Amino acid sequence: MSSFSSERTSDKISPMEIKSISRGAAEFQRYLLGHKEDDFRALPIRSLNVGTDQEMITYRIVKKNQIHRPPFYYLALLKPRVLLVALLPLFFLLKMFLHTHSPLPLSSTIGAALGVLFGVLAGSLKNDFTDYISGLDRLLPEELQRPIQKGWATPWKVLRISQVLLVLSLLCAIPVVLQFPNILFILALGGTMALWTQVRNQDDFKFSLRGEFAISFLFGPILSLGFWNALSGETYRAPVFAFGLMWGLFVHFLIHLQNFSNAMLASQFKLKNTMTRLGFDRSRWFLPSWFFLCLIVYMIFEIYFGSVFFAEVGAALFIPPLIYFSNLLRKLKSPLSSGYLRASQTGYTLLLLFEFYLFARSFF
Amino acid sequence: MIKEFKIYDEQDFPAYLPKLNSLFDDLFTGGKGFRAKLIRMMAENLNIPDKTELLLAQTIEFIHNASLLHDDLIDRSQLRRGKTSAWLKYTPEYAVLAGDYLLARVMVNLSSFGNIQLVQFTSQTISDLLEGEWLQDSIVGDFFVNMEQLDRIHNLKTASLFKWCLRAPFLALNKNDEGLHHLLEEMGTLLGQLFQRSDDLLDYDIRNDEGKTILGDLKSGYLNSFGAFVCQRKSRREIDQIVKSKDLNDFYQNLGGKKIFDEKVRDFDGINQELIQLYQHHLESLENRLEKSEKKLLPMLSPLTDILYWRKVGAR
């Protein structure tokens, strides 16, 4: 006999307030941007016809105090993973500079470092905002949801913070430009590329192959050469460029990993990035192969511009975890396996370990 | 009251294949035909001609039963509707061929009807169904999946047929308004999700008036949505223990007692009640998209959640 057969009572559960708003409605933008009454938040729970004129978003209206915000939720907004990718090469190049040059031009160094920090944060927040507005982030599974979807911060607020950070980034660049005007060439190149990615973002630019390369190039050679220029006044130096290229490959690994984590969603959105083009089976060997390529390029970099010893240490340290990562991926039966998340997290840990290694290595 | 009708005639299948006919007789008798009834209810309220209504009802039942034939073989289920499964009684080869035959008949019948949108949508539904089946098979033995992963499968496997039932009658009438179809699609998704979750509860003897085998899913290596719900935030060791439960009492114990189990059921009902509210909310939006003569459909669509989730027989 059914143990709960008498419990067919739908009225025991308190109803939630739901509101659906179509794109044509006057209040569509107000709700989408989060301009709701002060005590309430409108959290999107379903999005229909995303990206079309027929778009309709259904919100759950909750009291602000009903939203559980972790104590350091702003850190989630800042995305430490992206920050590490941007700041680690700066530290490495700084140590490289101090090894061969002196003195350190303080104002341009601090200006460049802060400029990069604020610029990357601004870009990252703008990206969160754009993904939310376009609808992509509104469809993310719960474990991948960002602070906006969780109601920790309104999209409007995120956009405003991003704009303030961008202004701060530009202000920080002023002393650098005044001291080394030739940096304008790299800034112009990087700025054009960054603007291009933002403008084309509406068309899912960052999910295209060109977008992947542009982001890797920005975080790789452009960032490295730009920061080196702010340190030394030199526009080009072979080891710096080589380091930038190598780092760009690692950044590309991070992009592949993120796209791999969101592969099911990306396929639903018909996005064409490397992972969706390769498909599930080929992505599983492509990811470790890419990291292996990164390691090879790192070893070549060390052999030419560093030391053979560190090339060997790098290989010895990272080949075993890479094999472990590869095995985890090989065991996955489908993108819905429970091990999928674990394999992705192992990939992130592998990259994080390499970042720590590079950090430690920069002291020698 | 929706009148009963025969879903197929003998001339629908070739007389020179008696085994195929016998297999279909076994398969189609004993089923509730809920999806066909849903089509009937839609058709009667949308003034769809009888011939079209029969075609739609036949289509959904053929697709559903083809999926059952394939499903039973994949899961190695020995019983279907209280009888020996087709793959056991007639060999796996015949079961596959019979399933394929039904899907082929669907395409023959629909293409004769000549509505390309309906053909395209039906093909997509079959494709979703197979994709869902494939994905579900890939997680058998994986007891660490979460509800969202299962929802994705159920959206393809279970909800696709409900979406078809709601949208196909409008397509058959050449009503192709995109907004209307997206809304119906969403409502179908919710109905499918609710039906699947309720069905998953039967496995734990909750509202199990149908007498479904207890812990059948779990013993076949499949953690269903309620199983995934109770395993949320538990360690791998705890989950290992829970999924090895020999019977329901053992399951209660591994969960921490019957009281905790009952609380979990209430919480599970709570999250599904939110889906029901969302469905009812969409039903209000649907009102604005229907013509005056079609609005009588709304009170018929409203009790579906009670039937599918709460299993309230009286609401049928």
Phi, psi dihedrals of residue A48, rounded to the nearest 5°: -110, 150
Nearest to B312 among A2, A8, A54 (CB): A8
What is d(CA A255, CA A72) in angstroms, rounded to the nearest whole number?
A: 25
CA distance to partner chain A, nearest, from residue B270 (Å): 6
SS3 for A43?
strand
HEC states along B5-52? CCCCCHHHCCCCCHHHHHHHHHHHCCCCCHHHHHHHHHHHHCCCCHHH
What is d(CA A288, CA A325) in angstroms, rounded to the nearest whole number?
A: 7
**Total count of residues recorded for chain B:** 316
What is d(CA B231, CA B220) in angstroms, rounded to the nearest whole number?
A: 17
| Chain B residue with Cα closest to A55 | B179
Give all domains of chain B, ordered by start, each with its CATH number: 9-114 (1.10.600.10), 145-316 (1.10.600.10)
Give B-chain residues touching A10 at CB under 8 angstroms.
273, 276, 306, 310
pLDDT at A56 over 90: no
Phi, psi dihedrals of residue B97, rounded to the nearest 5°: -60, -40
Cβ–Cβ < 8 Å for A151, A41: yes
A18 to B265: CB separation less than 8 angstroms, yes or no: no
DSSP line for A168-190: HHHHHHHHHHHH-TTHHHHHHHH
DSSP line for B147-175: HHHHHHHHHHHTHHHHHHHHHHHHHHTT-
Cβ–Cβ < 8 Å for B188, B197: no
Q: Which residues 210-249 on chain A approach chain B with CB closer than 8 angstroms? A: none
What is d(CA B65, CA B62) in angstroms, rounded to the nearest whole number?
A: 5
pLDDT at B314 over 60: no
| Chain A residue with Cα closest to B185 | A48
| Chain B residue with Cα closest to A45 | B278
Give the torsion sign (CA, A75, A76, A81, A82): negative
pLDDT (tens digit, 9 = 90+) per residue, B1-21?
444 556 776 677 888 888 888
pLDDT (tens digit, 9 = 90+) per residue, B84-139?
888 999 999 999 999 999 999 999 999 999 999 999 999 999 999 999 998 888 88
**Total count of residues recorded for chain A:** 364
| Chain A residue with Cα closest to B139 | A337
> Is residue A7 within 8 angstroms of chain B, CB to CB?
yes
B6's CB contacts (< 8 A; 6+ apart) are none
Q: Which secondary-structure segment (H or E) carries A135?
A: none
Give A-chain residues touching B184 at CB under 8 angstroms.
none
B139 to A337: CB separation less than 8 angstroms, yes or no: yes
- CA atoms lying within 13 Å on the CB side of residue B161: 28
pLDDT (tens digit, 9 = 90+) per residue, B202-251?
999 999 887 778 898 898 888 999 999 999 889 999 999 999 999 999 99
Nearest to B138 among A4, A141, A334 (CB): A334
What is d(CA B66, CA A167) in angstroms, rounded to the nearest whole number?
A: 62
DSSP H stretches of helix in chain B: 18-28, 34-45, 50-75, 86-90, 92-113, 116-138, 147-157, 159-172, 178-202, 216-219, 225-230, 236-243, 248-255, 258-289, 298-301, 304-308
Mutate to test the interface with B, among A331, A334, A341, A345 (most CBs of B within 10 A): A334
- Domain ranges in chain A? 15-66, 73-361
The count of CB pairs under 8 A between chains A and B is 96
Cβ–Cβ < 8 Å for B92, B73: yes
* Calculated CA dihedral for residues B237, B240, B244, B249, nearest 10 degrees: 60
pLDDT at A27 over 60: yes
Classify residue A99 by burial, with Cβ atoms within 10 Å: 0-12, 13-18, 19+. exposed
Phi, psi dihedrals of residue A93, rounded to the nearest 5°: -70, -35
What is d(CA A58, CA A20) in angstroms, rounded to the nearest whole number?
A: 4
Cβ–Cβ < 8 Å for A245, A261: no
> Is residue A320 within 8 angstroms of chain B, CB to CB?
no
| Chain A residue with Cα closest to B312 | A8
- What pLDDT is recorded for position B2? 44
pLDDT (tens digit, 9 = 90+) per residue, A197-245?
666 655 555 667 778 888 899 999 999 999 999 988 888 889 999 999 9
Average pLDDT over residues A329-342: 87
What is d(CA B9, CA A284) in angstroms, rounded to the nearest whole number?
A: 49
| Chain B residue with Cα closest to A144 | B148
DSSP H stretches of helix in chain A: 28-33, 73-78, 80-100, 106-134, 147-150, 155-179, 183-200, 209-217, 223-232, 238-261, 263-268, 274-305, 308-331, 339-361
Q: How confident is the model at residue B39 (pLDDT cuts 50, 70, 90)?
A: very high
Nearest to A264 among B152, B276, B278 (CB): B152
Q: Which residues 124-183 on chain A approach chain B with CB closer than 8 angstroms? A: 141-143
Nearest to B277 among A18, A264, A339 (CB): A18
- What pLDDT is recorded for position A1? 36
CA proximity to A5, closest of B200, B263, B252, B310: B310
B207 to A2: CB separation less than 8 angstroms, yes or no: yes
Nearest to B278 among A56, A58, A264 (CB): A58
Q: Which secondary-structure segment (H or E) carries A47?
A: strand A40-48
> Is residue B144 within 8 angstroms of chain A, CB to CB?
yes
Comparing A29 with A357, which gets the higher pLDDT?
A: A357
Judged by average pLDDT, the poorest of A79-83, A246-250, B236-240 is: A79-83
CA proximity to B276, closest of A183, A239, A13: A13
Give the ipTM. 0.72
| Chain B residue with Cα closest to A268 | B152
A49 to B182: CB separation less than 8 angstroms, yes or no: yes
What is d(CA B28, CA B62) in angstroms, rounded to the nearest whole number?
A: 9
Cβ–Cβ < 8 Å for B78, B37: no
Cβ–Cβ < 8 Å for A151, A179: no
Nearest to B277 among A16, A22, A333 (CB): A16
Q: How confident is the model at residue A196 (pLDDT cuts 50, 70, 90)?
A: confident
CA distance to partner chain A, nearest, from residue B103 (Å): 25
Position A175: which residue type?
P
CA distance to partner chain A, nearest, from residue B67 (Å): 21
Mean pLDDT of chain B: 89
Per-residue CA distances from A133 to A28, A33, A48, A129 (Å): 11, 8, 13, 6
Nearest to A18 among B143, B281, B311 (CB): B281
A338 to B144: CB separation less than 8 angstroms, yes or no: yes
> Is residue B149 within 8 angstroms of chain A, CB to CB?
yes
Which tokens is B148 given?
């969202």
CA distance to partner chain A, nearest, from residue B310 (Å): 6
What is d(CA B133, CA B67) in angstroms, rounded to the nearest whole number?
A: 9
- What pLDDT is recorded for position A83? 87
CA distance to partner chain A, nearest, from residue B138 (Å): 6
B281 to A143: CB separation less than 8 angstroms, yes or no: no
> Is residue B179 within 8 angstroms of chain A, CB to CB?
yes
Which tokens is B286 given?
């649907």
Phi, psi dihedrals of residue A3, rounded to the nearest 5°: -75, -15
SS3 for A17?
strand
Q: How confident is the model at residue A4 (pLDDT cuts 50, 70, 90)?
A: very low
Cα Rg of chain B, angstroms: 20
A2 to B206: CB separation less than 8 angstroms, yes or no: yes
| Chain A residue with Cα closest to B140 | A337
